[in-house]
Structure 1
Amino acid sequence: MAKSFAAMEDSNRSSNPTIHDVMDAQRRVLLRGGLASSLVALLGGGALAGCATTGSATGANPASLGRQIGFTSVPMAAQDTVTVPPGYTARVLFRWGDPVGVPGQMPAFRPDGGNSAADQALQGGMHHDGMAWFSLDGARRGLLTMNHEYTDDGLLHADGMDNWSAEKVRKSIAAHGVSVIEVERQADGRVTQVLPSRYARRITAATPCVVQGPAAGHALMRTAADPSGRNVLGTLNNCANGYTPWGTYLTCEENFANYFEGAEKPDAHHARWGIKKGGGFYRWHEFEERFDAVRHPNESNRFGWVVEIDPQNPDAAPIKRTAMGRAAHEGAAVALTAEGHAVVYMGEDARFEYIYKFVSRDKMQPGGAAANRELLDHGTLFVGRFDVDGTGAWLPLVHGQGPLTVANGFADQAEVLIKARQASDLLGGTKMDRPEWTTIDPITKTVYCTLTNNSDRGKPGRPYMDAANPRANNTMGQIIRWQEKGDLNAATFTWDHLVLAGDPSLSREGAKGNIRGDVFGSPDGLWVDPRGVLWIQTDVSTSTLGKNDYVNLPNNQMLACDPTVGEIRRFLVGPAGCELTGITMTSDLRALFVNIQHPGESPTERSDPRQPMKISSWPDRAGRPRSATLVITRDDGGIIGT
């Protein structure tokens, strides 16, 4: 995700939860791992094994292969290339500006930034992020559906931010959103894009989207342009993702506040969501009036949702599923209970925000997307409370229950969901260190979440350390995990930390961590593959890489973990200035897709095309750096990671 944006977003001023504060002695125990449940208890399966089915786009069931990691670790190095283990090859598949493959509409990329907004709407967007594979013909042919999180307007336009105009805003809008591309494996084993493709599609920040669920049509969702409150133009800041067992893609709207210019003295609602004067970082409000939150205060309520997309139906409108709540959504990991109810785990990537769970009212039906069009429109949203004794509870965000009443500012269930942060404040959810990606182990049903970092933890006037977030000045982050006490729709759970990220060679105790294996910090992307290997991707700011606590980590990386033994091994080091994000595999696990986001990123996250691209020229080695999707295969054609 766009790192500095989440780091700036720190709007939780609620006083909860003092119940989770721990004494210094308890924190020392936490740092030694003393609170952690045993691996046998948490990961052994026991009565929980097999009680739910993880939604998987891979279509594979390779648990019998085992979790053991078999590749040689890649050394960390300052470099401007992609490094993978011996015996593996990484190739660029799909870059920013490449045509998505709409028949008869495939404009070529212009390396000088000269493409029009109309061109960009038919090309791969900027800053590739979360993605998923959907099989069309087993592992031979399928669809990659991927997010484009945000834009570096310095790279996007020929003259960068100079001469700002309506056309530049339209192009920036067109570079956001989602791409659907078709890929296939050739006879020689190479994976290539299919051009043209009847499935090819671009969804942008101007694409008509439908609002469904409890908030559809609510007064807080209505605007002058849409008095129905049911039709929104676009999806934006699409960060991580999810995929459903019925074959659809979930894209998550994260730091939407940065698109809206607010009032100098915002009301309490806008203030709680970080919408303020000077907050319109992208300057869209200068030519797109709907992003002026003073003139159109409800427009921002129409963003921050999980959006469902049917990748196999290019004519179907994206649907904003409001029953799952509004948040700076990072991702949405989906699984089924034994009875077939959908369960979705979601993190909210901002300092001191929350982890959520949604449980559907109804059960999944056979028949794919068509038979489950409203499954995510009805159910219960919960916020997580992580207690000091290693247990936790899911607190329901239900109107009329507990403090969620009219007297406290919630007129109905829709308002609870639109104001999910305020509701979670009142319920006493645990304020976390920037919850990012979530993922569910398909074998044990353990749920993982990356807490990427939070240097504000423990500062004067900000929340103290607690059991789940045990380090002050948390520059390195951690990965938390939990197991439900029963099926995935249980009301309580047990939790511990898989790992506290860090570097044991550092002098600062709070940055050492407890990693078994290759060191890393700022975990972000996270995915348990079908055979049970946990993949970890890092997102360290360009302004931080190679400095201070990251002195030994000059580049971002991707690692693999066997969670049964805790070993972590580095699989990939990315080019200079990039973030590693987005991960999926073909259904036979012989092709791995990974996204390289913002190679060459400047510390300000805005490039200047008048200056040489000093940090990176990847992947073209000339002109502007371009985010891109990699396809990684073993040279012997074997299964990735074994």
Structure 2
Amino acid sequence: MIGRRGVMAGSVAALAMAGAARASTSVLGTAEPVTSLPPGSEAPQLNDVVAPGWRRDVLIRWGDAVLPSAPPFRPGEVTLAAASQQFGWDAIIAGLVKMPPADDGVRRLLMVVTHPDVQMRMAFPRGRGAATVAGKMQGASVLNLAMQNGRWVVVAGGYQSRRITDGTLCRIAGPAAASVGQTVQGVLAPSIGGVTPWNTVLLPEGHTAGWIRRLAGHAPGFGSPTVGAGFGWVVELDAANPMSFPVKRTALGRLSRAGVACGLAADGSAVVFMSEDGPMGRLFRFKGAAPAGTGEGALDAGTLAVAVIEHSHIVWHDLPAGLPSLTATASAGRRGSGFDAPSGMAIAPDGTLYLACRGNPGRGISQIDPLNPRAGNGAGHILAFAPEGGDPGARRFAGRVVLLGGNPAHDSSSRYAPGSTAWLRAPSTLDLDGSGRLLIGTDQRGAVTDTADGLFAMHPHGGLDLLYSAPVGGAVGGAAADPAGKTLFTVARHPGATREADFADPATRWPTVRPGMPPQTTMVSLAPD
């Protein structure tokens, strides 16, 4: 195990590799030197590490401008106005939104990123910061990306550029709107989102109660005893329309979610899979009542169900119809089976649903089953569920274990496909690229172990490779693939945030590596070199 003090004692040469100043033009991000990944080297480093054959470019960091009026980043002195216009403290890629070709021939992409958390001890000196400022550091960002000189960059102040925060007005839609209210202020703790087939983005609210307590008495609107009813929903965002209101879709139920994935059933209706955030979280599904079409109303009526494990299959059991299932979905789904901290998901073109389980050390021997096959193991695993007939709306899915995380040198229960060149712990986010590779981001929650969190690629034949490692204390916040090229996008989340670290004494100061500058969550692009 590598302690924080040992990591901080890295060489001056290593420190010199990472820093790059903010671009002076309207475009954020520039190329920065990186180290290559030596064979077998997986221990946490002060800086991020890129596998041989790949080039890494920095796109945007905590505190960089999302809106053109954003002031320069002043760590330790962030104001409400600044935080509401700057990139958030934490980040997970929700997905890329398809854009029509531009008349000027410039390739553009629209990226949506969630900002799920703010660790006060890391974001503010002495851990004491205004709760209202923290509320603006979380939420979501909509970013315009453009190809310039062969590299993707973030354009500050692009047409759709936008921040979603605790102060954003949202519309409430669906069957529970009459009891909850027609509008609510704020999106709180959005976790692992996803893009719909009709090109909107789903932002699932996670554990919101802590944010409500933090904001009560400080931010307008959060002191009411009934305010909690407006949170815990899946938020649909039309990112391509900067004038649109985010919409909380109550037909998808209310619970603390870790992630969502959206597809279409064989009958054309919307299907949304949702993982419950918790060590024994359950898997829920919404199936729309009618063909989704353009998406208008596709998520406002349908059936909620919870997954029950039967041997190596899961079977979807419908929840009772009515308001209680919508407003207290976790209670309504109590008969569902628990998975080992279910997290991100991805749906393959053949209808297969992939689920990342970060691991559950609390699972006992008597609680193991074919889809949670290990007791007391925190290394996690990945599952694949093949629906009957390839239809994501089917009642029964055949499950299988894709990999069992852990260091094969010390954990005999770990399993990887032949040809794998890497191993992992705590898989958290999943995405699929155009070649069918499963992109896996890991998150060990700030633990310093014998391996860094990273972005991994599992090939269709099953071999696992490591593409990118986050700095010590960091995690990987999802991935997305350029649909027309070979570039991958990913995020190094909260670098330096080991369990002993704080604002004054982080485990690293990446990416700037400057005295007095805190470490910054950073979105990067990875392209073949």
Q: Distance in 2 between matches of 1:238 and 1:301?
A: 16
Contact 2:440 / 2:478 at 8 angstroms: preserved in 1? no
Deviations 1:561-604 (A, max 9, x none): 124x3211111111111001121122213221101110000306
What is residue 501 of structure 1 aligned with on the other side? 405
Map residues 625-640 of structure 1 onto 2, 5 A cutoff: 625-635=519-529
Specify which of 298, 322, 328 is matched with residue 419 of structure 1: 328
What is residue 325 of structure 1 aligned with on the other side? 253
Decide whether aligned partners of structure 1 residues 514 and 567 sit closer, same or farther in structure 2, where only a CA change above 3 A counts: closer
SS at match of 2:392: coil
What is residue 64 of structure 2 aligned with on the other side? 98
Deviations 1:140-189 (A, max 9, x none): 112111111111223433x3434x5xxx1211111110101111001x20
SS at match of 1:381: strand
What is residue 87 of structure 2 aligned with on the other side? 124
CA RMSD of aligned residues (A): 2.2
Specify which of 376, 384, 396 is matched with residue 307 of structure 2: 384
Specify which of 379, 382, 395 is matched with residue 491 of structure 1: 395
1:509 deviation in Å? 4.8
Deviations 1:199-233 (A, max 9, x none): 11101012111111121121xx3xxxxxxx22111
Asked if residue 438 in structure 1 is aligned to residue 339 in structure 2, the reply is: no
1:78 deviation in Å? 2.7
Q: Distance in 2 between matches of 1:336 and 1:93?
A: 32
Map residues 56-71 of structure 1 onto 2, 5 A cutoff: none
What is residue 488 of structure 2 aligned with on the other side? 592
Contact 2:97 / 2:195 at 8 angstroms: preserved in 1? no
Contact 1:176 / 1:204 at 8 angstroms: preserved in 2? yes
What is residue 537 of structure 1 aligned with on the other side? 441
What is residue 137 of structure 2 aligned with on the other side? 175
Deviations 1:460-488 (A, max 9, x none): xxx72223212111211111111111222
Give the partner amino acid of 1:125.
G
Q: Distance in 1 between matches of 2:191 and 2:131?
A: 20
Contact 2:448 / 2:472 at 8 angstroms: preserved in 1? no
Asked if residue 287 in structure 1 is aligned to residue 250 in structure 2, the reply is: no
Q: Distance in 1 between matches of 2:38 and 2:236?
A: 38
Map residues 452-601 of structure 1 onto 2, 5 A cutoff: 452-458=358-364, 464-486=367-389, 487-506=391-410, 509=412, 512-514=414-416, 516=418, 517=420, 518-542=422-446, 544-546=447-449, 552-553=450-451, 555-563=452-460, 565-601=461-497
SS at match of 2:82: helix
Runs of 5+ unmatched residues, structure 1: 1-70, 222-228, 262-282, 366-370, 400-412, 547-551, 636-642
1:420 deviation in Å? 1.0
Give the partner amino acid of 1:150.
D
Q: Distance in 2 between matches of 1:123 and 1:134?
A: 21
Contact 1:124 / 1:175 at 8 angstroms: preserved in 2? yes
Deviations 1:611-634 (A, max 9, x none): 333x11111111100101101111
Contact 2:122 / 2:497 at 8 angstroms: preserved in 1? no
Identity %: 29
What is residue 354 of structure 1 aligned with on the other side? 282
Contact 2:174 / 2:250 at 8 angstroms: preserved in 1? yes
Q: Distance in 2 between matches of 1:234 and 1:445?
A: 34
Asked if residue 372 in structure 1 is aligned to residue 295 in structure 2, the reply is: yes
Asked if residue 114 in structure 1 is aligned to residue 77 in structure 2, the reply is: yes
Decide whether aligned partners of structure 1 residues 358 and 189 sit closer, same or farther in structure 2, where only a CA change above 3 A counts: same
Q: Which structure's relative contact order is higher, taking Cα pairs within 8 Å and 6+ residues apart?
A: 1
Give the partner amino acid of 1:494.
A
Q: Distance in 2 between matches of 1:346 and 1:148?
A: 18
Deviations 1:39-76 (A, max 9, x none): xxxxxxxxxxxxxxxxxxxxxxxxxxxxxxxx997741
Decide whether aligned partners of structure 1 residues 354 and 175 sit closer, same or farther in structure 2, where only a CA change above 3 A counts: same
Contact 1:556 / 1:580 at 8 angstroms: preserved in 2? yes
Decide whether aligned partners of structure 1 residues 74 and 597 sit closer, same or farther in structure 2, where only a CA change above 3 A counts: farther
Specify which of 132, 140, 149 is matched with residue 116 of structure 2: 149
Runs of 5+ unmatched residues, structure 2: 1-36
1:372 deviation in Å? 2.5
Give the partner amino acid of 1:208.
L
Contact 2:206 / 2:277 at 8 angstroms: preserved in 1? yes
Contact 1:536 / 1:560 at 8 angstroms: preserved in 2? yes
Q: Distance in 1 between matches of 2:455 and 2:253?
A: 30
What is residue 187 of structure 2 aligned with on the other side? 235
Structure whose alpha-carbon radius of gyration is higher = 1
Q: TM-score by structure 2 length?
A: 0.87
Contact 2:108 / 2:147 at 8 angstroms: preserved in 1? yes
Q: Distance in 2 between matches of 1:591 and 1:530?
A: 11
Contact 2:57 / 2:525 at 8 angstroms: preserved in 1? yes
Specify which of 502, 505, 508 is matched with residue 612 of structure 1: 505
Deviations 1:391-417 (A, max 9, x none): 221011132xxxxxxxxxxxxx12211
What is residue 318 of structure 2 aligned with on the other side? 396
Q: Distance in 1 between matches of 2:472 and 2:40?
A: 16
1:91 deviation in Å? 1.1
Give the partner amino acid of 1:124.
F
Q: Distance in 1 between matches of 2:218 and 2:38?
A: 52
What is residue 136 of structure 1 aligned with on the other side? 99
Contact 2:258 / 2:344 at 8 angstroms: preserved in 1? yes
1:131 deviation in Å? 2.5
The number of equivalent residue pairs is: 484
Decide whether aligned partners of structure 1 residues 355 and 72 sit closer, same or farther in structure 2, where only a CA change above 3 A counts: farther
Q: Distance in 1 between matches of 2:163 and 2:330?
A: 31
Question: Which structure carries more strand by proportion?
Answer: 2
Deviations 1:104-151 (A, max 9, x none): x132111x3212111110111110113211233558112111111111
Decide whether aligned partners of structure 1 residues 328 and 496 sit closer, same or farther in structure 2, where only a CA change above 3 A counts: same
Q: Distance in 1 between matches of 2:433 and 2:229?
A: 34
Q: Distance in 1 between matches of 2:480 and 2:456?
A: 14
Give the partner amino acid of 1:248.
T
What is residue 204 of structure 2 aligned with on the other side? 252
Q: Distance in 2 between matches of 1:529 and 1:471?
A: 29
Contact 2:269 / 2:291 at 8 angstroms: preserved in 1? yes
Contact 2:67 / 2:157 at 8 angstroms: preserved in 1? yes
Give the partner amino acid of 2:401.
H
What is residue 225 of structure 1 aligned with on the other side? none
Contact 2:98 / 2:199 at 8 angstroms: preserved in 1? no
Give the partner amino acid of 1:473.
G
Give the partner amino acid of 2:286.
F
Contact 1:101 / 1:200 at 8 angstroms: preserved in 2? yes
1:429 deviation in Å? 1.0
SS at match of 2:326: helix
Map residues 295-334 of structure 1 onto 2, 5 A cutoff: 296=225, 298-334=226-262
1:288 deviation in Å? 4.1
